[in-house]
Structure 1
């Protein structure tokens, strides 16, 4: 041979990409360019300028083998510039369908390479390529080598040929992508043999075989500082939570119209002729995907019988027909294949993933329920979780079926002795699945049982997501008692650890979130309801004289949760509303350790400036008889909270002071507090300013008429220096009030436009106004603050507040202290239904102007019923008009 002694040229390296189009060489000969004699369809791409080293005088198959010499060489051999080419090595070239043993492929350094004639080597390779091509053509499969990326040396641009897209290459590349491994072209050609005749690869990028790496469940646990610290140090390149591949998402297909074609696998010449394209018959069916099989709504023709998922050997998309707009799906059966054609690629892929999901769910259910070995079940359970987490289907039923399988696994072995260990392993394996969907009632009961039996060994990272999902999405615990039990037992398991208190605090912090306000409106009510229910269950049947024991340590964490929730401003209002009226039993209130935590909660409510927060300690309209409110439960005279007397007086005085400084400085509120006059006296003796101020208002507004009661109040005021100061100021105000209410002064009075609250106060201090019956403050700048001065005019019958800033609090005050008022003008004032409803106590009111106010129709109807003597009213430009 004249090419044996030719100079060896530099061969392409193993990382270079070589693409050969075998589809264009059906007759065994390659197309060549007649002008320059270069191979047109067979080229390789290199980053360096490599000369054409193909020897002359070779036939088509030998040229193809020479172009693939690097692919046919084992990847363990590295070439250099001074080494001979693979064609000069005496190494046996492997067949395409056999695997090379690493020990046989690696030559010893002591043994020199056995030289073989280059012509024999090329003939051997060409023979194997012809055998491979013939087998592929016989099995009616596309070629298994991709086209080569051709590089135009003159223009410098790279163009890809898509004519030879192969099935085996797609399968191997998909496996390599799913397993996060890199596979070179030489490794692809040295892998397992091609599948049987009736098999084909799945669609590219949609491999559904669960082959993900082990995930870490530490990131699912957000309620433990230790676990968070452990997960924070993980490498960012770790696998973490399984995720579906990038691309479109699909809904689980249940029904659709597709074209169907069926053909038998060709084994004889007659079968091959009958299965030809021009003899195939297509039918249109409306298919329904059921649990066990696929049926047609019109069972006739090709789909007269249901198509069972268990009989499907393989399902794949025929992507090579997409350029012709034939979006087909092939289902391989034992004796034939079924083609399903959709209108577009999205529908085709949707049906493909839906069929694969139902097929795999049947396989997982049968395997997990019949396997006895626990380690095998756990491994297969992980595979099922990976499959569910990586499927591009997004539907509730996609996770509902695996959750039911998990529930069945945990429930069927619950009577065994090692159920706790088995449930712990199964729950840890299904952690990603539990984080994606709410657990059912039966599964919640099983997980709660695991927390009760093994509180210190329970898989807390796996249970944290379902617990938080229950707290953030549950609406009514009465309909989901098992869900509430799961949250309760999970919190108890947290507190059972050595750092239980810090774990519970961290749990509340994670449930609230890092924002200023919690994004979940149901989280706070649900968490407070679980804590209160746990405390009530433990102390409901407690003995009357309370005795502390070690069993209380299990429920003190729920009192800690209520205290931790009050650290957030948005949750403080929610907790206060739930605690009004007092929802705890007497046994819980008599526990000193629980009362200490509730005392901190009451302090937080009392010191909050928002009316919605501190108003929660006041008696509610639908209050219980025992105890009606926190003012009654924390009363120093008959306390229900087991706190020291000094702490009770301080807390009770703070609650009373917050109410008086806000919206409860009214006669009606003090009248309701007259039953707790002994508590006011006890707190006033401790020099608390709120109680002293309340006693002064009792005397000033004449709430108590008994002489003995007034003497007791005066004695309590004189019992401290601060009380004496308040009583001295009260006496001075009473003297001024007597001078103000003395007979004399004008009957009608109107203030100028620029008058303010200070002008009104100065007017009343000027002299006697006992005869004043008509006062006009129209178009002035007075506010509700001047109501404290107007109530000193008990003979006032006409009051004009047109176009002022007089609000609801001022209207409520004058409605209680000016019973002789007959005419009231509130036109163009910011009063609302809250203040207008208080006017129902003015029985002598005859004329009322509510023009351009925030009056509603419902409030006006109530006002008309309670004021039957109202003769004239103006409600224009209101909702009631």
Structure 2
């Protein structure tokens, strides 16, 4: 018998990328097969050597197998023993050994693999053996941590401090190392060729599969360096701001990702032999006939669409003993997947490595999910269920499958576990333990509606003892991913009850603030556009549910404490610039019922929100307090809800007048159409008068503009405005200034003066004001301010020229604010030149009100194509336009 056949009959083969189940009973057979030769030859060659093993260091009371494994561990621990003749003092740890051994995974020429034993130096053979041992150590170290069945090396623990440190460095012992070392010892006793040594090398990364779920590393929540608000709710202020996923949670191995395989064409070959004989046949490049089947992965078994031949009956997942990829094989027979059955083996051959690995991970997934489902639903002992649930969570977190069905199955199992026996007395404690164990899964996967309902119930029943650190990731996931709470009411309920549980703690106010900060993130703008509207919607819905049926005569009670945190959330959200606009949009019009507005504690917090809106310079923020439609009285705007004459907001009168005046001033000073706004607010003239009597400057200016622009119609109304202005010292001063302006305006608009006027280049806004105050310009039809230094501030003087038909603002700093004012007052304008001005779509869209406009120059402005199309549709008389060097060109 040649050496190759002797090799495969004398030792078990680890040439394939084999995912070994350490709990299998076949390990005993492998141990017995190697024991005879290994005990004799290896002990004779290495154990008897003084350089390799110190007989005094071997613990007493070990059997033959244990002494052999202990000796082999020492042999591989000191690499200088075999590779050189120098003695080594001390016993290096396996971690140090791996650093010195290279990683063998390269292609070897077949001619080199067939060289004779005498052509390869002995030292290189031994070095390659040790290198392959290091490869196996790296590949299966994670699998050795979770073995349940005691192995030979488990009994080698010593009380010696040095040996204890070595075991500590090995991350849990040499559980699967003993079997590998026996095989390597048999190889070391022979003169192995390079080709045979490569048969022990690990497969390429594409064919590598993760260990079975029973062998996965699964750190506890206490060991994870996660961002679950710390071990208690009070710790959220320290741990918030990190990423939502736990840093210590299991992650998928590096490499490609796959979808769950459901159907595909594969070649099938079956062997009715023992495992060792199959390895021999595969290595000898001999196979039986192959059949092509279209396989379909169903929930409990694998079936063929043409049930005949080798797959006449379905292949059940429960009958599979092992499933692993075969990487080193005949090039003509590659990309194979091996399924070990009780009475033989089944080979599945794919067209490429990716398809093979996809089917491998899919079969492993189906097989283990069935095992987890059966075990978790039938086991009575709760501690066993928690342990197995942890293993399932680790398996889900490390699988390279990325598919919706893959994420759904474990959550359904968790839902069934947490939903059973809800009426029992210890359900809250049981649900809390399950939630803590499944925290990594909840952080990475969207919870189902039923699971959200169970978690929300846990928060309601035990608000101060709920597992808030474990619930924080799914809550933030709901806020950042949900698009419609109407279809997910349980998800909204979970967020609401979670916030209520936060506020129930002693440091509830700081926890709620920190929760908002964590949800926003530590960036200038929140990366999740759905987070702000979802959080605001949850807060408003909670307030509406609580105050919906309350009476108009409000009475404060302790029950309101549980909903005040939701008003605090709206207030905290206004601290971020990007969320302030979102809050304003959600609050327009008033979305709260009268019962909530009548509560003083709620109203005071809402007042802070309104103050934050009106103090913002952006129109998108402060314009949210104005009525969307003047003709619609319900739902009201905030100007109507905070009206001093008939307030809906329960705020003291002095603060209410100040708030209403600030809202009015923000709207008057922005770039909105002030004349149209005052006309829409004419029905609230009593509110203007009340605030003006408090000497608020915004209300005084508004009453003066009503008189100046003749917004207030009727002599009686004008007399009321004049009386209100003369009622205070500030009002009298404003009214006297108005009278002076009216006199100048009458003189300015008197007939006379030039018809055309062009100002020099150095003209400023002050020069325009001084010029228009000197004489009558009622006949002025054409005004050129091209290349001057005027800005939008001069629009206040330009709107006093009612006969103006032609206006040239070429190369000035005239912006959107002045353009909107002109569009509102100079309705007879026919020609407008805005070439090289900083106007944008916001001001250009206001020109749609100039129905008489015939010529328009927008060359080199910030005009967009969409705004220009809208402008053309609304200006039917526009004959000439210049839009060169714009986006609309």
TM-score (norm 1): 0.76
Counterpart check, 1:859 vs 2:871 = yes
- Which stretch has the larger CA shift, 833-842 or 488-497? 833-842
**Residues 449-460 of structure 1 correspond to what in structure 2 (within 5 A)?**
449-460=457-468
Asked if the contact 1:215–1:239 (Cα under 8 Å) also holds between the matched residues in 2, the reply is: no
- What residue in structure 2 maps to residue 619 of structure 1? 627
State the 1:327 CA deviation: 3.7
Partner residue of 2:64?
A: 94
Decide which structure has greater helix share.
2
Partner deviation per Cα, 1:308-332 (whole Å, 9 max, x = no partner) = 1011122233455388873432211
Alignment of 1:401-440 (within 5 A): 401-440=409-448
RMSD (Å) for aligned C-alpha atoms: 4.4
**In the TM superposition, what is the alpha-carbon distance from 1:265 to its structure 2 partner?**
2.6
> 1:423: Cα distance to partner?
1.6
Paired position in structure 1 for 2:229: 222
Mean Cα deviation higher: 313-322 or 465-474: 313-322
Q: How far off is 1:524 after superposition?
A: 0.2
Pick closer, same or farther for the CA change 1:93–1:189 going to 2, 3 Å. farther
1:20-169 paired onto structure 2 within 5 Å:
64-69=42-47, 78-79=56-57, 94-95=64-65, 159-161=127-129
Please name the residue that 1:664 is paired with: 672
Residue 413 of structure 1, CA deviation: 2.5
For 1:692 and 1:508, locate their aligned partners in 2 and report how far apart those are by CA, in whole Å. 39
Q: Which of 765, 771, 783 does residue 773 from structure 2 map onto?
A: 765
CA contact (8 A) 2:271 2:344 kept: yes
State yes or no: 1:531 paired with 2:539.
yes
Q: Give the corresponding residue for 1:575.
A: 583
Task: Give yes or no for contact 2:233–2:469 (8 Å, CA) kept in 1.
Answer: no
Q: Measured at CA, do residues 622 and 173 of structure 1 come closer, stay the same or move farther in structure 2, by a change above 3 Å?
A: same
Give the corresponding residue for 2:646.
638
**Secondary structure, aligned partner of 1:159:** helix
SS of equivalent residue, structure 2 residue 64 = coil
Partner deviation per Cα, 1:377-416 (whole Å, 9 max, x = no partner): 2222112112212223333332211011111222333343
- Cα gap change, 1:521 to 1:876, in 2 (>3 Å): closer
622-631 vs 694-703, greater mean Cα deviation = 622-631
Aligned pairs (5 A) from 1:265-664 = 265=273, 278=286, 280-321=288-329, 326-621=334-629, 624-664=632-672
> Does 369-378 or 543-552 show the bigger shift?
369-378
Q: Distance in 2 between matches of 1:276 and 1:156?
A: 25
Map 1:658-697 onto structure 2 (within 5 A): 658-664=666-672, 666-697=674-705
> Cα deviations across residues 406-458 of structure 1 (Å, max 9, x unaligned)?
11222333343432222222111111111111111221122112212222221
Name the CA distance, whole Å, in 1 between partners of 2:235 and 2:469.
Answer: 8
Moved more, 725-734 or 518-527: 725-734
Q: Distance in 2 between matches of 1:871 and 1:406?
A: 67
- 1:340 is paired with a residue of what secondary structure? strand
Task: Provide the residue aligned with 1:142 in structure 2.
Answer: none
CA apart distance, 1:638: 1.2
Separation in 1, partners of 2:268, 2:774: 102
Change (3 A) 1:692 1:419: same
- Aligned residue number for residue 171 of structure 2: 181
Residues 266, 350 of structure 2: 8 Å contact kept? yes
CA separation in 2, counterparts of 1:25 and 1:773? 108
1:790-831 Cα distance to aligned partner (Å, 9 max, x none)? 122223344444565544433432343345545555566665
Instruction: State the alpha-carbon separation in 2 of the partners of residues 268 and 187 from structure 1.
Output: 20
TM-score, normalized by length of structure 2? 0.76
Question: Deviation digits for residues 772-798 of structure 1, max 9, x if unmatched?
Answer: 333333454443322211122223344
Tell me how far apart the structure 1 counterparts of residues 412 and 546 of structure 2 sit (CA, whole Å): 33
Which residue is 2:22 aligned to?
A: none
The CA distance in 2 between the partners of 1:797 and 1:330, in whole Å, is 88
Out of 784, 794, 799, the residue aligned to residue 786 of structure 1 is: 794
* Residue 664 of structure 1: how far off its partner (Å): 3.4
Contact kept in structure 2, 1:833 and 1:859, CA below 8 Å: no
Counterparts of 2:546 and 2:354, CA distance in 1: 57
Aligned equivalents of 2:745 and 2:259: distance in 1? Answer: 79
CA distance in 2, matches of 1:688, 1:817: 26
- CA shift, 1:605, in A, is 0.7
Shift in CA distance, 411/722, structure 1 to aligned 2, threshold 3 Å: same
2: CA distance, partners of 1:239 / 1:809? 51
Shift of 1:559: 0.5
The Cα shift of 1:361 comes to 0.5
Separation (CA, whole Å) in 2 of partners of 1:409 and 1:654: 56
Partner secondary structure for residue 816 of structure 1: helix
Partner residue of 1:777? 785
Change (3 A) 1:794 1:398: same
Counterparts in 2 of 1:23 and 1:274: CA distance versus 1, 3 Å: closer
CA distance in 2, matches of 1:267, 1:874: 86
Aligned match of 1:258 in 253, 263, 266?
266
User: Structure 1 residues 343 and 706, CA, compared in 2 at 3 Å: closer, same or farther?
Assistant: closer
Does the 8 Å CA contact 2:750/2:778 hold for their aligned counterparts?
Answer: yes
In 1, the alpha carbon distance for the partners of 2:336 and 2:791 equals: 78
SS at match of 1:160: helix
Q: What SS class does the counterpart of residue 321 from structure 1 fall into?
A: coil
User: Which segment is superposed worse, 678-687 or 498-507?
Assistant: 678-687
Question: In the aligned structure 1, how far is the partner of 2:281 from the partner of 2:846?
Answer: 96
Q: In structure 1, how many angstroms separate the alpha carbons of the residues matched to 2:556 and 2:504? A: 18
Distance, in Å, in 2 between the alignment partners of 1:569 and 1:267 is: 67
Displacement of 1:192:
12
**Structure-2 separation of matches of 1:190 and 1:791:** 93
Q: For 2:388 and 2:700, how far apart are their aligned partners in 1? A: 73
The structure-2 alpha-carbon separation of the partners of 1:511 and 1:834, relative to structure 1 and needing over 3 Å to count, comes to closer
CA–CA separation in structure 2 for the residues paired with 1:90 and 1:781:
100
Equivalent residue of 1:294, what SS? strand
| Partners of 1:700 and 1:734 within 8 A in 2 | yes
| Bigger Cα displacement from structure 2, 727-736 vs 674-683 | 727-736
